[in-house]
C-alpha cells in the first residue's frame, strides 16, 4: 500500500522567531512531508518568501497572491482544504487576537477559517506582551476550540534582551507535534488521563566516577512522553541521565539509580492511569560504594554485585486494577519468548519487545521496530518507524483493548 503524502501548511507571523521556522520547513521536507507556507505582511520584514520557497520547494504565499485574479479557485479555500495539519509559528499577539475573534483580513487568517484541519499554535512575543490580560484572555478563549493545539512558550533570553516567558517552542518540539498530529489527525483521546513514563538508563556507581549502566538514551521514553502530551494527557517522565530537552508541559523528574527511579515511580503511581516502564534499568549494582574515587591500583579484580529492585514488578504489585502497566523488553535473538515470560512473570498488562541487535533500532536510534504483546493474547508487529510513530502505535493499541 502506498502511503498518502502528508501535507502541512505553515503560517508565519511577524516575529523574530520566524527564522526558526526555516528549520521546521526544511526538516519536514526532508522527512517526505509536502509543505506549503503562508507569510503575513510583517513576517516578510523578518524573513523572505524566497527562503521558505527554496526550503519547501514550492512558492511561498503572501497577501499579494491572495488578491491576484489568476487562481481558478480562491487561494485560501484551496490551501485550507489541502492541509492535513496547519501550524502557525510564530503566533503573534495580533494574529492570536484575530483568530480568537474569528477575524479574516489577510491570507493567513482567511485560510484558517477555510480549513478544518487541526492547528498547532506556537506563540512568541515579549514577556510583557504575552502576560497582558488581553492577550491571555484571547489565548484562553481560542483554546476553548479543540481544533487549536497550544504549544507552551518557554522562558529564556528574548530578542528584547529580557529573560522571561514568551520564547517560541524550539523547532524539534514543533516538528514532533506536527508528526503526532499527522498520525492522530488531532484527536485527543488521552484528555483527563495521567500517564507516567520511565525513560533512559539508570546508573549504579562504584565510586564517584565509575558506574554500571547501559547505552539507553531515553529517546523511546521521550517519544512516549511527547505522544501522550500531544494526545492530551498529563505526563510525568521519570528519567535517567539524558542529553535532550524536555517537552514543555511534561513534568520531568531526574533520577540516577534504580532505587531513586523506583521511589519516584511509586510516588507518582497512585494518580496514574497508564504507566509505561521504558527505562533500561541496570539490573545489578556494586555491593560496595566508595565515597572517594578509587585509585586504579585499588580497583577490585572482580566486583561483588547485588540485585537492584525490579521496579515494574513492584509497580505491578501495588497498582489498582484500572491502571494499565506496560513494560519494555529489549532483546537480542528471539524477542517474543522472553517478552512473553516477562509479561506473565512481572504481571504486566502489555509489553513491547524490541530487538537491540538490528541496524537502526533499539538503543540510541531515532527509529525502532517491535512486537506489542498483551495479556489478552494479542501479538502485533510494529514495522520499522520513528520512535514517535511507535509511541503512537502503542497508545493506539492500549486505547483499543
Which residues belong to the active site? Answer: 160
In which residue are the cell numbers 530487538 written? 355
Give least dist CB 61 to ligand C5P, A: 48
3-state DSSP assignment of residue 120 = strand
Q: What is the DSSP letter of 201?
A: B
CA gap 365, 382 in Å, rounded: 16
Taking Cα atoms as reference points, which of 13, 279, 132 lies closest to residue 140? Answer: 132
Residue closer to ligand C5P (CB basis): 145 or 357:
357
* Helical ranges in 192-304 per DSSP H: 219-230, 258-268
Give least dist CB 370 to ligand C5P, A: 12
Q: Is 182 exposed, middle or buried (0-12, 13-18, 19+ CB in 10 A)?
A: buried
Residue 184 Cα distances to 257, 308, 387, angstroms? 35, 38, 15
Helix (H) or strand (E) holding 85: strand 85-91
Residue closer to ligand C5P (CB basis): 226 or 285:
285
Give least dist CB 341 to ligand C5P, A: 9
Residue closer to ligand C5P (CB basis): 80 or 327:
327
Residue closer to ligand C5P (CB basis): 132 or 347:
347
| Pair type for strands 367-374 and 350-355 | antiparallel
Residue closer to ligand C5P (CB basis): 190 or 326:
326
Residue closer to ligand C5P (CB basis): 135 or 237:
237
Give least dist CB 281 to ligand C5P, A: 4
Cα radius of gyration (the chain):
24
CA angle 299, 301, 303 (to 5 degrees): 85
294, three cell numbers: 578509587
Contacts for 351-359: CB closer than 8 Å, 24+ residues apart: 351/326, 351/327, 352/278, 352/326, 352/327, 352/328, 352/382, 352/390, 352/394, 353/328, 353/329, 354/328, 354/329, 354/330, 355/331, 356/330, 356/331, 356/332, 357/332, 357/333
Give least dist CB 314 to ligand C5P, A: 8
Give least dist CB 315 to ligand C5P, A: 7
Residues that bind ligand C5P in the complex, under the rule CB under 6 A:
258, 277, 279, 281, 283, 308, 310-312, 327-329, 342
85, three cell numbers: 495539519
Amino acid at each position: 500500500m502506498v502511503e498518502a503524502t502528508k501535507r502541512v501548511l505553515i503560517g508565519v507571523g511577524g516575529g523574530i522567531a520566524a527564522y526558526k521556522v526555516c528549520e521546521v520547513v526544511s526538516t519536514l521536507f526532508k522527512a517526505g512531508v509536502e509543505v506549503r507556507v503562508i507569510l503575513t505582511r510583517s513576517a516578510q520584514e523578518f524573513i523572505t518568501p524566497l527562503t521558505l520557497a527554496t526550503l519547501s520547494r514550492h512558492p511561498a504565499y503572501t497577501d499579494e497572491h491572495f488578491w491576484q485574479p489568476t487562481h481558478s479557485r480562491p487561494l485560501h479555500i484551496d490551501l485550507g482544504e489541502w492541509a492535513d495539519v496547519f501550524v502557525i509559528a510564530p503566533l503573534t499577539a495580533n494574529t492570536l487576537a484575530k483568530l480568537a475573534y474569528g477575524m479574516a483580513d489577510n491570507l493567513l487568517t482567511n485560510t484558517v477559517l477555510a480549513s478544518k484541519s487541526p492547528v498547532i499554535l506556537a506563540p512568541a512575543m515579549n514577556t510583557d506582551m504575552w502576560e497582558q490580560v488581553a492577550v491571555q484572555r484571547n489565548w484562553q478563549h481560542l483554546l476553548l476550540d479543540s481544533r487549536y493545539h497550544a504549544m507552551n512558550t518557554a522562558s529564556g533570553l528574548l530578542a528584547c534582551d529580557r529573560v522571561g516567558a514568551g520564547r517560541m517552542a524550539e523547532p524539534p518540539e514543533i516538528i514532533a507535534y506536527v508528526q503526532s498530529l499527522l498520525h492522530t489527525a488531532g484527536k485527543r483521546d488521552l484528555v483527563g488521563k495521567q500517564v507516567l513514563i520511565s525513560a533512559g538508563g539508570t546508573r549504579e556507581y562504584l565510586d564517584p566516577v565509575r558506574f554500571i549502566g547501559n547505552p539507553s538514551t531515553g529517546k523511546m521514553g521521550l517519544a512516549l512522553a511527547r505522544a501522550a502530551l500531544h494526545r492530551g494527557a498529563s505526563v510525568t517522565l521519570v528519567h535517567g541521565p539524558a542529553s535532550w530537552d524536555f517537552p514543555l508541559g511534561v513534568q520531568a523528574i531526574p533520577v540516577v539509580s534504580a532505587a531513586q527511579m523506583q521511589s519516584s515511580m511509586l510516588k507518582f503511581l497512585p494518580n496514574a492511569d497508564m504507566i509505561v516502564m521504558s527505562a533500561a534499568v541496570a539490573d545489578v549494582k556494586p555491593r560496595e560504594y566508595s565515597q572517594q574515587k578509587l585509585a586504579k591500583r585499588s580497583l577490585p579484580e572482580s566486583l561483588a554485585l547485588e540485585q537492584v529492585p525490579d521496579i515494574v514488578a513492584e509497580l505491578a504489585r501495588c497498582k489498582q486494577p484500572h491502571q494499565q502497566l506496560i513494560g519494555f523488553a529489549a532483546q537480542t535473538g528471539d524477542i517474543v519468548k522472553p517478552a512473553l515470560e516477562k509479561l506473565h512473570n512481572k504481571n504486566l498488562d502489555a509489553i513491547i519487545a524490541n530487538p537491540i541487535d538490528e541496524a537502526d533500532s533499539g538503543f540510541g536510534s531515532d527509529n525502532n521496530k517491535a512486537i506489542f504483546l498483551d495479556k489478552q493474547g494479542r501479538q502485533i508487529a510494529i514495522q520499522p518507524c520513528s520512535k514517535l510513530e511507535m509511541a503512537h502505535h502503542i497508545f493506539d493499541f492500549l486505547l483499543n483493548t
